[in-house]
Amino acid sequence: MRTSRASRDASKLFGRGSPSPPRRTTRSSLARFAYGTPSTTTDDNATPDVEDAIPTPARKRRRLTATSTVKTSPSSTSVKVNVEDVKEEQETKSPVKRARKPARKTTAPNGETTVSSPSDWEEMFEVVRTMRAPGGAAANAAVDTMGCERLADTNASPRDQRFHTLIALMLSSQTKDTVNAVAMARLKTELPPWKEGEPFGLNLENVLAVEPDVLNKMIWAVGFHNNKTKYIKQTAEILRDRFAGDIPDTIEGLVSLPGVGPKMGYLCLSAAWDRTEGIGVDVHVHRITNLWGWNKTNSPEATRASLESWLPQNKWRDINHMLVGLGQTICLPQGRKCGECDLGLRGLCKAAERKKVAEGRRVKEERLEQEGDTIKVGTQLKEEIAVKEEVVCEDVKIKLDGEAPDAT
C-alpha cells in the first residue's frame, strides 16, 4: 500500500501509526513565551523556540572592551588579545595624511592682499638642503662644479671674472652644464688675442676683435650656437659703448642685453655683483616646485613671481642652486628616483611615486638592519677581546706574584 509523502513525514515526526491532532492553543500554553518569570508549566527539558533562542537586544548599546582568542595550534594554549589595544596600535602605525596647500592669496576687508606660504615648506627646504650637502643623496651634482657661477677664472681680474659669468650664463641656455663647461674652457684658453703680444683668453677686447665664424666654431657644441654667437658679439659692443667695458650692475641693464632674460639677469647679479634681488628660475625650479604643489604656474616667470611673493628673501639665492642639483641627481625630468629622495620617504612630496617609495623604504630598513647587526657583532668582538686581555693580564699577574725573588 502506497502512502503519501505527507504521511511519511508525519510518521517520522510523531512515530509510527496515525498522527495525533495538533494541540489546542490556549492562554496557558502561550504563557511560557511571556516576559518575566517563566511559567511553572514550562518543561525545562523542552527545546526552546527559535524566537526564544535569539537574545533580546538591549535598548542602549554599551561599548565593552572586546577580547578575541587566538590559537596557533590545537595543542597550544589560548591567548586573549584585547581588540581595543590592537586598534590603538594600528592607528599609531598608520601614517597621518598631511593637508597639502599651495601658496594662496587672501584679501582682507580693507583690500590688503597677503600671500600665505605652502604647507611644510620650511621642513622640505631643510630636507633638500641636507640632501644637497656633502654625503647626501643629491650631493655631487654637475651644477656644484660646472655651474655658471663657478666657471669664471679666479686668476683673472674682477672685471674679466664678471664678464666670464655673463658669457657662461648666455651659453647655458638649452645646454647641459658639462657641455657648457667645455665650451667655456676653450674660450678661456684658445680665444685669439685682440692684438699681437696680448694673452689668449676670454675678455671683452678679444670678443670684440674675434671673427663671428671663429667664435661660432669654438662654441658649436652648445645649443643654438648660431644665435648665441650673434648675441655675444652684440653684447660686447653694448658693454663697450654703454657700460664702460663692464657688465651692468642692475637687473634692468642686464635684461637689456641681447639673449639675457630675467633668469640669467638675477643669477648674474647674484654671482657677479653679490646682490640678490630676485630668484633665478630655470626649468628645474619651475618643474620641481610645481610637483611639490608650492605653486600652480605655467611658465618660469610666473613661478618666480609666485615664489618671491612668500619665500623669505634670505632663501632666494640658495633655492636655485639647491633645486637645480636636486633635479640633476634625484628628481630627474625622466625617471625620478623617488625611492632615494628623503622627501618621498618622509611623505613630504605629493608627487612621489608610491611604488618607488615603498621599495626605497624596504631597502633602507634592510640597510639599517645590516648596519645594526654589524655594530652588534663589532661590539661583541670588542667585548670578547677586552675579556681575553683581562684574563691574560690576570694570568701574568698571578705568575709574577707566585715567583718569589731569590734571597741573596
Residues designated as active site:
263
| Residue 185 cell numbers, joined | 674652457
Residue 249 in grid coordinates: 650692475
Look at residues 391, 335, 344 and name the one whose alpha carbon lies nearest to residue 364. 344
DSSP string, 164-208: HHHHHHHHHTTS-HHHHHHHHHHHHHHSPPSSTTSPPS--HHHHH
Task: Tell me how far apart the alpha carbons of residues 225 and 218 are, in angstroms, rounded to a whole number.
Answer: 9
Print burial letters for 218-230: b (CB count within 10 Å at least 16), e (below 16): bbeebeebeebbe
Q: Provide the H-helix boundaries in 50-176.
A: 50-53, 83-93, 121-132, 142-146, 158-172
Return the C-alpha torsion angle 220, 226, 230, 232, nearest 10: -30
Could you tell me which of 288, 226, 300 has the C-alpha nearest to residue 262? 300
Q: Kindly report the CA angle at 177 between 171 and 183, in degrees rounded to 5?
A: 50
Which H, E and C letters describe 297-332, residue by residue?
A: CCCHHHHHHHHHHHCCHHHHHHHHHHHHHHHHHCCC
What are the φ/ψ torsions at residue 198 (nearest 5 degrees)? -85, 155
Q: What is the rounded CA–CA span in Å between residue 348 and residue 52?
A: 58
The DSSP 8-state label assigned to residue 60 in this structure reads S
For the chain, the residue count is 408
Sequential DSSP letters for 339-389:
GG-HHHHTT--TT--HHHHHHHHHHHHHHHHHHHHHHHHHHHHHHHHHHHH
Rounded to whole angstroms, the Cα distance separating 190 from 231 reads 20
